[in-house]
A and B are shown apart, each in its own frame.
Chain A
């Protein structure tokens, strides 16, 4: 491979910015300077699709209406654990307006329980059993009501702790495997290990297994914190539910999907129906919220396609609110035991972690690896167990595992700081080796005015104020399967294409910015065509991988296309193309200022109608930690919380959050703020409000709606200030990363620490409610 050397900005402006020389493949574009010196990158560029969103013109999957389209509804189990003895569809079939009915039948698959019955065994209330397509949604719903399902009920178990007991009803009596879109990332959850409903443990991740010698570590400790922390199950509740519209023609199956991963939905549908990937097209132009659970075609995708095939018409199948809550994913619960030892000087000597969590009938209830990597500690071990229950399966939820893990770890670190008589922030200065979090602590603390903080519980009066802090880390993941095509059209017009989707994070806009910056044009000059698997494959929008994966090839393809265009101009001017540049829509020459040509004029020199360049993500400059795309460095954050707690009523209000974050080279400040707000608000919600409430007697979710599933509305929104720290590490042609997961990790821990600071009693379980405050204060029993 031919290489060359180039100098890149490295470090944090205003702190330790310097330059670094890297050897990079020869075809890579030249290093970009820091954002200050760029035109559109790192600026507050308005979202290119905002106009469609504010005028109601944006067409989401749920808004689709194709000629002849039918509406479908799923048939779901009413009981949590049963064998199905029979299903009678005769009445539904004869209902006017019904066009197709499909029942899910048992297929012998490895790892699946097969009782020899015609239908799969029911494992949770709400499990899909079949579907109906009809002329209207109302008719489809009527038809579902007419289907008679006969169940042979089996004992079931909902409560996680009871499920762990010997003699509890068994959810699966076979080994099971983790779903691809299961709740945790990086941890391998092995459902074949363990006893009864308790499976695992998972003890290692891509960061390795246990380290050092725990017993020795705790022996060396002068102080030990040993606590158990509990977190609830919460559901994603995106505003647009999961769903698809399937239009299956002779040559191609088109799936309009509300998805975070067009490429994966394409792969799944091709797999289920045994079609070549080239004959399945998945399209997602606008997507109404995902948060981790929308990577798969689920069972609704194949159901809609089957109904489309049976009826010969396009089929719309969007889930309703209740179905969304029950069966389309949740963040698993956790009960985490954590033991941390430290010497008198504060240095950590041992971290031991043991967790149990339930992802219902799924696996993936880990607490991530934040305790393994946030603070260096020579002795570490974790055991993470999955507990199976008869409830809907978990799914990835913004920073899977790490959010639960941070809630425990960051409180334990605070408890340790207190025992050591150290300020929690200063204590983190001591044990945290991250340079970027150091800067975030400094800048965040200044903005937040951390110096106001008083000793825990020292406030006078009924309403007590408290301040707290929490930190996080998230790996820099890169999906190598990230490609784009950039086109310059003769006579003007620049276009970028990829299957990557914009789920509200602003991907379309950052792609336009990257192309515009490299091409010397304005953002409005770039047409972004993404969310379509007929375009080059892009990454799924999960794990904060998109920006870091897709923006480097975007820049590289643009650079290649530009070079080709400049060659044409150079020929006309009889110059060397390397002396030419494009700025503000004009081609110019480095030394001869008289040479000028508009971009549009330049494109007229093209002999063919387009210049098209495709580029794919290559390895990071200097390589990866793991060859599949675990990059060096991390995405660190520090969040500060200010709360008021009414000690008479237990009412808690989060008054303010200061969120200090890094994501490499920031691309779009407004959009970054937006995503940080979103992560913080979901963190507030996790800490104080939302909770999936299950009825242990019937196995049904009791609050599967919007009115009783409590999340923050405008009155509960705290003041949020963001600090975005630029951090250059010279690892790719854009050096940019995502912010989705980091924004959500530290909030609940920071709030819990602030609540402790307010009332002087620590609450180890979320959601922290008025009743848990009053209990902690011994005001109620």
Chain B
């Protein structure tokens, strides 16, 4: 509702203020940010340097999430985590620390895990975002998800999406991980309930099943 309203009312402007917390973060994918209007996209492409200012009003951008291109209207201070949760209602991604120290907000950018709370939604660009909601394909669980269920690797479940993201990435990229590998893959994932032993077991079990 709210998004739509902002969308229709917001015309891309030049010289908009970018929030200071994102300044200097590096516009790694600046040239490829997809915007709804070409005019702005061209402007943006012409000056893809760190320190470029835009905002504070919302801007409409496009983002490919779980294989579907979505259009959303976001303020420049919006993180990827907030865009997913608050704008696209993909609330599987959790925000726990909001400063890159718990991995509850882990998503993939072109297949690589990132902390979405630490990333400006404007830095996503053409990269494809995969969230926990996109891990099961056509209703079929990933072996890691299946193993998490079998080995009781979730308790309250709040860290679980982030844990699953870390473990799926490991299992998809390492055909024969050992315990040490699983520990390394989840070393940034905070879990207060203490699911770690079952997470380790589940992931090792899943890796056997994916060979």
Contacts and interface: CB of A to CB of B under 8 A. Distances in A.
A717 B98 CA distance: 24
A62 B93 CA distance: 11
Interface stretch (B8-16, B34-42, B119-127, B132-140): B132-140
Interface string B28-56: 00000000000000000000000000000
B111 interface: no
Contacts of B196: 677, 681, 714, 717
Given A670-B152, A677-B194, A54 B164 contact: yes
A291 interface: yes
Interface in B75-98: 75, 77, 85-86, 89-94, 96-98
A286 B158 CA distance: 9
Contacts of A53: 148, 154, 157, 160
Contacts of A681: 194, 196
Contact of A680 (B90, B152, B194, B198): B194
Contact of B197 (A59, A138, A677, A706): A677
A109 interface: no
A304 B137 CA distance: 39
A424 B148 CA distance: 39
B65 interface: no
Interface string B177-207: 0000011101111111111111110000000
Contact of A54 (B98, B101, B160): B160
A237 B194 contact: no
Given A56-B133, A239-B96, A671-B152, A711 B188 contact: no
A732 to B, nearest CB: 25
Nearest to B2: A135
Contacts of A720: 197
A325 B186 CA distance: 24
Nearest to B196: A717
A240 B198 contact: no
B202 to A, nearest CB: 10
A50 B198 CA distance: 13
A330 interface: no
A47 interface: yes
Interface in A483-521: 503-506
B112 interface: no
How many chain B residues sit at the interface, stated as a range, is: 35 or more
User: Which of A60, A506, A678 is most buried by chain B, counting CB atoms within 10 A of its CB?
Assistant: A678
Contact of B152 (A51, A674, A706): A674
Contacts of A47: 149, 152, 154
A184 interface: no
Contact of A321 (B93, B97, B136, B152): B97
B94 A46 contact: no
A55 B136 contact: yes
B160 A705 contact: no
Interface string A700-722: 00000111000101110101100
B150 interface: yes
Contacts of A52: 157
A680 B100 CA distance: 26
Contacts of A54: 141, 145, 148-149, 153-154, 160-161, 164
Nearest to B19: A138
B145 A505 contact: no
A56 B90 contact: yes
Contacts of B1: 67-68
A706 B102 contact: yes
Nearest to B161: A56
Contacts of B191: 239
A57 interface: yes
A707 B97 contact: yes
Contacts of A57: 92, 133
A50 B152 contact: yes
A682 interface: yes
Nearest to B155: A504
A677 B195 contact: yes
Given A53-B154, A504-B156, A237 B192 contact: yes
Nearest to A68: B1
B93 A46 contact: no
Contacts of B91: 56, 59-60, 63, 65
Contacts of B92: 55-57
Interface in A650-677: 670-671, 673-675, 677
| Central interface residue in B101, B148, B158, B194, by most chain A CB within 10 Å | B194
A770 interface: no
B94 A55 contact: no
A138 B161 CA distance: 25
Identify which of A287, A321, A719, A720 gathers the most chain B CB atoms within 10 Å of its CB: A321
B154 A50 contact: yes
Contact of B97 (A63, A679, A705): A705
Contact of A713 (B135, B154, B160, B189): B189
A702 B151 CA distance: 38
B209 interface: no
B198 A673 contact: yes
Contacts of A298: none
Contacts of B159: 239
A504 B194 contact: no
B23 interface: no
A63 B133 CA distance: 14
Interface string A239-250: 110000000000
B63 interface: no
B158 A240 contact: yes
Contacts of A705: 97, 99, 101
B101 A707 contact: yes
Nearest to A676: B194
A706 B157 CA distance: 18
A58 B160 CA distance: 10
Nearest to A59: B91
Contacts of A105: none
A287 B156 contact: yes
Contacts of A717: 183, 196-197, 200
B116 interface: no
Nearest to A743: B194
Contacts of B94: 62, 239-240, 288
Contacts of B156: 238-240, 286-290, 503-504
A137 B75 CA distance: 12
A719 B179 CA distance: 11
B129 interface: no
Contacts of B152: 44, 46-47, 50, 506, 670-671, 673-674
Interface string A347-358: 000000000000
Tell which of B141, B151, B152, B187 has the most Cβ of chain A within 10 Å: B152
B22 interface: no
A301 B193 CA distance: 24
B193 A504 contact: yes
Contacts of B195: 674, 677-678
B158 A707 contact: no
Contacts of A138: 75, 77
A681 B198 CA distance: 13
B131 interface: yes
Interface of B: 1-2, 75, 77, 85-86, 89-94, 96-102, 104, 131-133, 135-136, 141, 145, 148-161, 164, 182-184, 186-200
15 contacts: A50-B149, A53-B148, A55-B136, A237-B192, A239-B192, A240-B94, A289-B155, A504-B156, A673-B198, A706-B102, A707-B100, A713-B186, A714-B187, A714-B200, A715-B187
Given A286-B157, A288-B157, A320-B98, 6 more contacts: A65-B86, A239-B102, A239-B191, A673-B197, A678-B193, A713-B189
Interface of A: 44, 46-47, 49-60, 62-63, 65, 67-68, 135-138, 236-240, 286-291, 320-321, 503-506, 670-671, 673-675, 677-682, 705-707, 711, 713-715, 717, 719-720
Lowest 10 CB-CB distances: which A-B pairs, in order?
A: A56-B92, A504-B156, A678-B194, A288-B158, A53-B157, A56-B132, A63-B91, A681-B194, A706-B97, A239-B158
